[in-house]
Structure 1
Amino acid sequence: MKDVFIVGSKGIPAKYGGFETFVDNLVTHQVDKNIKYHVACMTFQKQVRCYEYQGADCQEIFVPNIGGAKAIIYDLKALRWSLEKIKKSKLRDGIVYILACRIGPFLNYYVAKLHQYNFKVWVNPDGHEWKRAKWSKPVRSYWKVSERLMVKNADLLICDSKTIEKYIHKEYEKYTPKTEFIAYGADTTSSTLNKKDLVVEKWYKKNNITFDKYFLIVGRFVPENNFETIIREFMNSNVKNDLIIVTNVEKNNFYENLERKTHFERDLRIKFVGTVYNQQLLKFIREHALAYIHGHSVGGTNPSLLEALASTKINLLYDVGFNREVGENSALYWGNRIGNLADVIQRVSTTPCEFSKYCENSKKRIEKFYSWERIIKDYEETMR
């Protein structure tokens, strides 16, 4: 039996988030029954539970809800739980898989301890967390140092993007890091909903949206997702379509600055519709968009991009390495040059049938390279 401890996701069953969805799929799509998963799950309740989910041993880890620092505390407490369980159960020759690079300054200590039990430490470096604009300069400096130390001390780095893998080898060449590329996965099935379903009718009526006529954005409301460029370019286009933005929008400084710069609230085509937690409804919304606009400029293989390529007819991607790596010839690309995205939007709106080949290409690409079945197979082979 190969024991695999997973540290760094908020837990399963998944309610939100890329890492949570990954761990949920890793467990529920498990083929090799000689692997035993032990999953740390974050909770803000002091009364913690230990429970089983789809054969995985799940342990809640209490952390105080104190902002960004709670993730570091959580990872450290989850590592401590992993080590204690390994000792108590006399486990040997397993893996501790840490998702993201939050605890670099502390990792060397735990690696030494875990090696005593012949446990390897794997790390998923995620994307460039230190580039995210939401962090202050000191916090970004910490993330960069933490990333360096995670790379230095890990036994293996699992990169879900070849672009990130190349970056790791170039940036940290002196550590000769050992890496493995295993992509993120996507659900390739169609939505179970149809236009007559009450939840669909209610959502489209509430937001005054017409099927198959809107451009769509799904993603976190942060500067590095290029909301300003997308909104400005859309406003400068002459299309009659709506721009539907599914995001956790809050009327904070970013929102207010965006409104001050673009005055998007005066444009009735721009519609912030909040979040959609019903996954079948969200899939339906993707399927019935005219096109999806992806502005992510930081990170590796982004889950929302894979989901869009699997579901949406035409995809317009910000031209950066990890987006082009995933989309290849199945999408259109745009950059920051003034008028570039507006022109692409105009063309897609005017002659959508001209781009019909992209729909077929994108679905084939996801099925071939990014299905969860393939991803789980790659993980289990690497674990063995």
Structure 2
Amino acid sequence: MRSLFILGIRGVPAQHGGFETFAEKLSLHLVEKGWKVTVYCQEDGEGEIYQSQWEGIDRIHIPIAREGAFGTVLFDWKATRHALTREGLFLTLGYNTACFNIMQRLQRQTNVINMDGIEWRRDKWGAVAKVWFWLNERIGCWVGNHLIADHPKIKDHLNTRVRADKITMIPYGGDEVRSADKAILTEYGLQADQFSVIIARPEPENSFLEMVRAFSSRHRNHKLVVLGNFTPETNAFHWAVMDAASDEVIFPGAIYDATVVQALRFYARFYLHGHRVGGTNPSLVEALGAGCAVIAHDNHFNRWVAGPDAAYFEDELACSKLFDRLLSDSVAVQQMRSASRKRFKERFMWEQVLLEYEALLIRWDLATQPRT
């Protein structure tokens, strides 16, 4: 029986983000194919490490009393140390604590690392954090037996660190959405196709201020729903975004109910994606899977994911002009929606993504087996 251990995430079932969702999908897929899959899970509180099972997946729970980034680092440290006692193939999702994976390299464990995005380029991090991420990216490239990039441009970037045959490009996946509960819209005072949506962390690098200002530059007879955890009383950027918003902009906060988020995507006229840094963004992939008409920041990350038929803006003025032109152009919107579904089926369906991961992991599992 093939055995895989997954490190680098909070755990399964998914509750926290894209990597957790991916880990859940991959784990269930591999268990169905006869693999023994173990996922390290971070738990709040104190106590001893314990084990459980969920949907055929073995889980190793590590209680952590500290919150925030330090708690995550402590969890990764304890999980990696615990993994040294195990035999099998390892998949680490993210390189943020790749310095700990040096122990696995010394132990001669085979570790495939998904290198995620170029974290040290993100505006939200201070100088110390950027140095930490930069160093760990370098270390991850060195200690990983093989690297996974989720975007062609991420692969190009990693290729400046290591040889090309050490990297495989496999994007993030998503579920196709063909229907959603329209009744959910009434809870937010919305009507189908009479609103657009932003779903992201409210960070400067995600173009929140530019998009909200562009929309609010004139009366639109349309609503803009901005999902995210805004704390204007303690965050100056959050305050600036909310202060720039017209009365047609709605801030319902962070919404974690998947059925609600799905409905907001599915019935929105546009999905706005302002990310300027990163690889294949899960939220953008999910928007394609829901057939959203996409308006995105113009960069090579977003252009590869959303394709040539999405609408792109470079700055606030260009974004405003897109609203001026497209809000009333139903023919263009329908063409954009069709193009999104086509692009999604070309490259981002979970079935295809998981099969590519399985093939890569089988290759490395075979490489770990002793020769007879």
TM-score by length of 1: 0.88
Consecutive unaligned residues in structure 2, runs of 5 or more: 363-372
CA contact (8 A) 1:130 1:143 kept: yes
Pair 1:62 & 2:40 matched: no
Show the counterpart of 2:367: none
Percent identity at matched positions?
27
Show the counterpart of 2:339: 361
Show the counterpart of 1:263: 243
- Partner Cα distance (1:68, 1:262) in 2: 27
CA offset at residue 294 of structure 1? 0.2
Query: What's the CA shift string for 1:7-59, capped at 9, x where partnerless?
Result: 01110011120110001111223376342211000011324541112221111
Show the counterpart of 1:3: 3
CA contact (8 A) 2:232 2:238 kept: no
Pair 1:339 & 2:299 matched: no
1:77 partner amino acid:
K
Pair 1:324 & 2:312 matched: no
1:179 partner amino acid:
I
Q: State the SS of the aligned residue for 2:247.
A: coil
| TM-aligned CA distance change 1:356 to 1:189, over 3 Å | closer
Q: State the SS of the aligned residue for 2:190.
A: coil
| TM-aligned CA distance change 1:52 to 1:19, over 3 Å | same
1:19 partner amino acid:
F
Show the counterpart of 1:188: 176
Q: Identify the match of residue 126 of structure 1 among 116, 119, 122.
A: 116
CA offset at residue 164 of structure 1? 0.6
- Partner Cα distance (1:252, 1:224) in 2: 20
CA offset at residue 237 of structure 1? 4.1
Pair 1:153 & 2:143 matched: yes
- Partner Cα distance (1:283, 1:227) in 2: 21
Q: State the SS of the aligned residue for 1:39.
A: strand
Q: Identify the match of residue 110 of structure 1 among 96, 104, 109.
A: 104
1:359 partner amino acid:
R
Show the counterpart of 2:354: 376
- Partner Cα distance (1:380, 1:32) in 2: 12
Q: Identify the match of residue 215 of structure 2 among 210, 216, 234.
A: 234
Q: What's the RMSD between the two structures over aligned residues? A: 2.0
| TM-aligned CA distance change 1:97 to 1:218, over 3 Å | same
Query: What's the CA shift string for 1:333-352, capped at 9, x where partnerless?
Result: 1112x410001111111212
| TM-aligned CA distance change 1:105 to 1:177, over 3 Å | farther
- Partner Cα distance (1:13, 1:153) in 2: 28
- Partner Cα distance (1:261, 1:340) in 2: 18
Show the counterpart of 1:40: 40
CA contact (8 A) 1:289 1:312 kept: no
Pair 1:72 & 2:73 matched: yes
Show the counterpart of 2:224: 243
1:112 partner amino acid:
L
CA contact (8 A) 1:219 1:304 kept: yes
CA contact (8 A) 2:273 2:294 kept: yes
CA offset at residue 112 of structure 1? 1.4
Q: State the SS of the aligned residue for 2:76.
A: helix
Pair 1:215 & 2:196 matched: yes
TM-score by length of 2: 0.91
CA contact (8 A) 1:291 1:312 kept: no
Show the counterpart of 1:277: 256
CA contact (8 A) 2:5 2:39 kept: yes
1:349 partner amino acid:
L
2:336 partner amino acid:
Y
Q: State the SS of the aligned residue for 1:329.
A: coil
- Partner Cα distance (2:190, 2:181) in 1: 17
2:169 partner amino acid:
F
CA offset at residue 76 of structure 1? 1.7
Alignment: residue pair count: 361
